[in-house]
């Protein structure tokens, strides 16, 4: 499949990461071993009821923790890693990858809504209906918008033709109700003024008009697994470690493997040393 099509690779940014110092504090609580920490800010915690702000900042700035590394790779007391969290901004994955991600249950996902973001596709279909070459107008506009993770004009023509035919069938079944489902009252007035001969003007006007919030309720079926989407994903380090082990494997689907590797690459080194034992050994040597 990869030889036949060119796939867009995902992009990843880290919105926020929690640090590792507070996870060492959690581990020291368990073992009552604050005095053995290599970090002064942690050694001083035991007899204090309240940390001063500068002491909290010192804990947040910790770059390495021998105790956390030992718990990760020698003693396998990984529950303390659940105190470490990341929020990733992920763009340009397919909805197929999204389904794979959902199988990793210990995470929070907020995904680009299909229901609320289909307006441009539906407006383009409506505008295409006042042209002499309806299908070509629709396909050309949609390819230019880059909504699919698979590049290549031939493949995209096939995908968008299928979307067009689904919408055309629904229009034939619903008649004028089809327009009412998509357009607001103002949008219908605009449509009636541009009923023939000015498809691009109509499209621009419809795009500038306030759209119905749940515009995709009756049209979500047009979306395929190759549809490009975005999300924010928050995960603790213990869960990410499991995710990365499974999804960076050669046995994993190549699209989610790309994502797992990109997420790992974007992590600061202090987290990588708690995930990858080989990297930790190389770093120490």
* CATH number of the structural domain spanning residue 4: 3.30.1360.170
Within the chain, residue ranges assigned H as helices are 21-31, 40-43, 53-60, 66-73, 95-101, 119-128, 134-145, 153-174, 177-182, 185-193, 199-208, 237-247, 254-266, 269-272, 277-284
Let me know whether 153 and 284 are in one domain: no
Domain boundary among 181, 196, 222: 222
User: From the CB of residue 196, how many other CB atoms can be counted at a distance below 10 Å?
Assistant: 9
User: Would you write out the chain's pLDDT as a tens digit for each of its 285 residues?
Assistant: 445 578 999 999 999 999 999 999 999 999 899 999 999 899 988 878 768 877 777 898 999 999 999 999 998 889 999 999 999 999 999 999 999 998 888 899 999 998 888 999 999 999 999 998 999 999 999 999 999 999 888 999 999 999 999 999 999 999 989 999 999 999 999 988 876 668 999 999 999 988 888 888 899 999 999 999 999 999 999 999 999 999 999 999 999 999 999 999 999 999 999 999 988 888 877
Q: Do 140 and 101 reside in the same domain of the chain? A: no
Please check whether residues 177 and 188 belong to one and the same domain. yes
91 and 6 within one domain: yes
Residues 95 and 154 in one domain: no
Residues 138 and 199 in one domain: yes
Strands in 228-236's sheet, in edge-to-edge order, are 11-17, 85-94, 228-236, 107-111
Structural domain harbouring 72: 19-83
Element containing residue 227 per DSSP (H, E): none
Same domain, 183 and 139: yes
Which one of 222, 249, 266 terminates a domain?
222
Pairing of strands 228-236, 85-94: antiparallel
- Do 106 and 233 fall into the same domain? yes
Q: DSSP readout, 24-40?
A: HHHHHHHHT-GGG-S-H
> Rounded distance, CA 278 to CA 285, Å?
11
Same domain, 210 and 261: no
pTM of the full predicted structure? 0.90
pLDDT tens for 70-92 read 999 998 889 999 999 999 999 99
Number of domain units in the chain: 3
pLDDT for 229-282, tens place per residue? 999 999 999 999 999 999 999 999 999 999 999 999 999 999 999 999 988 888
As given in the structure block, the two tokens for residue 5 are 């099509």
Query: Are residues 95 and 157 located together in one domain of the fold?
Result: no
Residues 130 and 35 in one domain: no
Last residue of a domain, one of 83, 99, 127: 83
Tell me the C-alpha distance between 86 and 26, whole Å. Answer: 18
Q: Is 244 helix (H, G, I), strand (E, B) or coil?
A: helix
Length of the chain: 285
Do 89 and 153 have their domain in common?
no
* Partner residues linked to 228 by β-bridges: 94
């Amino acid at each position: 499949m990869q030889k036949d099509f060119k796939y867009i690779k995902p992009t990843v940014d880290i919105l926020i990461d929690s640090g590792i110092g507070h996870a060492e504090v959690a581990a020291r609580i368990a073992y009552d071993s604050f005095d053995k920490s290599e970090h002064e800010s942690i050694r001083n915690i035991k007899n204090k009821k309240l940390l001063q702000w500068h002491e909290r900042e010192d804990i947040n700035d910790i770059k390495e923790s021998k105790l956390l590394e030992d718990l990760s790779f020698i003693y396998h007391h990984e529950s303390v890693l659940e105190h470490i969290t990341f929020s990733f901004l992920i763009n340009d994955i397919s909805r197929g990858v999204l389904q794979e991600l959902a199988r990793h249950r210990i995470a929070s996902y907020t995904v680009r809504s299909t229901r609320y973001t289909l307006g441009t596709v539906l407006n383009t279909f409506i505008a295409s209906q006042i042209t002499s070459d309806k299908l070509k107008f629709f396909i050309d506009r949609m390819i230019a918008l880059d909504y699919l993770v698979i590049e290549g004009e031939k493949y995209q023509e096939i995908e968008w033709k299928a979307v067009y035919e689904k919408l055309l069938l629904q229009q034939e079944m619903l008649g004028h109700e089809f327009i009412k489902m998509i357009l607001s009252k103002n949008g219908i007035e605009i449509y009636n003024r541009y009923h023939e001969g000015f498809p691009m003007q109509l499209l621009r006007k419809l795009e500038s008009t306030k759209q119905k919030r749940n515009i995709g309720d009756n049209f979500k079926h047009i979306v395929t697994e190759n549809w490009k989407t975005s999300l924010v994903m928050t995960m603790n380090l213990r869960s990410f470690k499991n995710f990365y082990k499974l999804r960076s494997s050669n046995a994993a689907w190549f699209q989610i493997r790309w994502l797992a590797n990109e997420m790992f690459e974007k992590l600061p080194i202090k987290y990588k040393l708690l995930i990858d034992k080989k990297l930790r050994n190389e770093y120490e040597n």
